[in-house]
Chains A and B, each alone.
Chain A
Amino acid sequence: MEERKIIIPGETIVHGDEFLPGDGARREGQDIVACKYGLSDVNDKLVRVIPLSGVYVPRRGNVIIGTVVGVTFKGWLIDFGSHINGFLNVTEVPRYIGRGELRDHFDFGDVVCAKVFGTDGGNVDLSVKLRGFGRIQGGQLIKVNPNKVPRVIGKEGSMVSLIKAATNCDITVGQNGVIWVVGDKIEDELNARKITEFICENSFLSGLTEKVEEYIKNDLKLEIKQTKFENAEVASENPQEEQIGEQQ
């Protein structure tokens, strides 16, 4: 694999008939040309641009954390920092809600963790039917660049497990770049925040997991407990792992 470098829109990434344009790239004659600013990634014959910036684009199966910004007769409008608001229908809530009772369930300003189950026709449909979804209370929200979320999760959730083991916090990562951290003590949550910020700042380093481990041990003076979090947050982690499969 070639070394990754910053690519500017309109720049030729590779030349040759054998390459295939992936995300953020197009074919022009024999050249594969970038349509986006980001890092070039030539994997075998597939050429794509890994974006460094840009808004979060919701995809089916993503977990998002957003705020209720509107209540209609049929559901709630959720703002999750994208170019469009998501819609959470009353029927996607795991209990019966009568007419006029919507504000008793989720009110304006409530923070909700939801799953994207459809993105057709320009609408983003959300659901909170599965376990682990719904209104968020307590803990802290950390906002990061949505393009760095795959780094925060790590390969098959390894980075999240590392943060969990080091800080003893419960962590839910929203694909839209909002991370929810709940710990027993506020110090634990602050440590989790520091580690997350460290990951985002150093997301280009190779061997990031080792660097983060060093940072946790040397700078924060925390110990990493070898606990398995296999059962925790199953509902919210599975879709993230799917996403990693795509990103890696």
Chain B
Amino acid sequence: MTKVESLYKKRSDGRKFDELRPITAQVGVVPSADGSAMYQSGKTRAVAVVRGPRLLHPKHMENPQRGILRVTYQMMSFSVWDRIKPGNSRRGQEISKVSEWALNEVVNLDAFPNSVVDVIIQIPQADAGTRVAGLNAAAMALAQAGVPMSEMVCAVAVGKMDRTLVVDVDKEEEDFHEGEGPTDVPICMTSRSNKIALLQLDGKISVPELRELVKMAREGCKKINEIQIKALREPGKEIKG
């Protein structure tokens, strides 16, 4: 096979292909909540709030063996340039559900039967990669709330622009439609055992390329985890990295 050169040669913001956007993280942004955190990656910002473990309503959702996690993901109406209709949407429901599954990998609620831990993820500003930003914020908020967790989770969206593999895709790259077009792969990994807690794929990609992407995501997640740890060590302080 002859090597075809990719049409995507340079990133619009001048980043290296394996470079993350500048990150800002802060723990304890909502003092009245049990746990809260903000995670910003470039222009994408996510705020996560944790309440609970607390009594679960409706009662029929109760699990007498262990507590349940209930994640709500929403984008604020002003988070994008035009406007997003606020409230529940098909996309929001899907992201809430996959975030819940990813967080369930590390959260252990055996000690709180019949109860619920509510995780509310809000996106005040969106520039692609909102679900991974939401997961990063939610992991910090859950830790601060004192919820038993075996380890942390960190997430990053990797992707393929034509034939170029990149880390931390932004909106402009997500809309790159030349050649093979854009492929967006949000990956969430656990911090200690490096297991994959979430992997979604939108686009087309070969197996060796996907392997390479997972490897790149692993490196990105390591850097994100360092920032999460720094933010949790100094609650209330804005950590930049």
Contacts and interface: CB of A to CB of B under 8 A. Distances in A.
Contacts of A54: 34, 145-147
Given A8-B152, A8-B229, A36-B149, A53 B53 contact: no
B151 A9 contact: yes
A42 B148 CA distance: 19
A57 interface: yes
Q: How large is the interface on B (under 10, 10 to 19, 20 to 34, 35 or more residues)?
A: 20 to 34
B233 interface: yes
Contacts, number: 78
Q: Which of A6, A8, A57 has the most CB of B within 10 A?
A: A8
B33 to A, nearest CB: 10
Given A57-B111, A83-B53, A52 B146 contact: yes
A102 B190 CA distance: 51
B150 A10 contact: yes
B232 interface: yes
A84 B114 contact: yes
Contacts of A132: none
Given A37-B143, A55-B52, A10 B151 contact: yes
B124 interface: no
Given A53-B145, A54-B146, A55-B54, A84 B108 contact: no
Nearest to B232: A8
A192 interface: no
B55 interface: yes
B144 interface: yes
A152 B150 CA distance: 30
Contact of A83 (B112, B144, B150): B112
B241 interface: no
A84 B112 CA distance: 8
A35 interface: yes
B156 to A, nearest CB: 17
Interface in A43-62: 51-55, 57
Interface string B205-239: 00000000000000000000000110011000000
A18 to B, nearest CB: 22
7 contacts: A8-B232, A9-B150, A26-B150, A52-B146, A55-B52, A84-B114, A84-B115
Interface of A: 6, 8-11, 24, 26, 33, 35-38, 51-55, 57, 83-85, 122, 147
Interface of B: 34-35, 52-55, 64, 67, 106, 108, 111-115, 143-152, 190-192, 228-229, 232-233
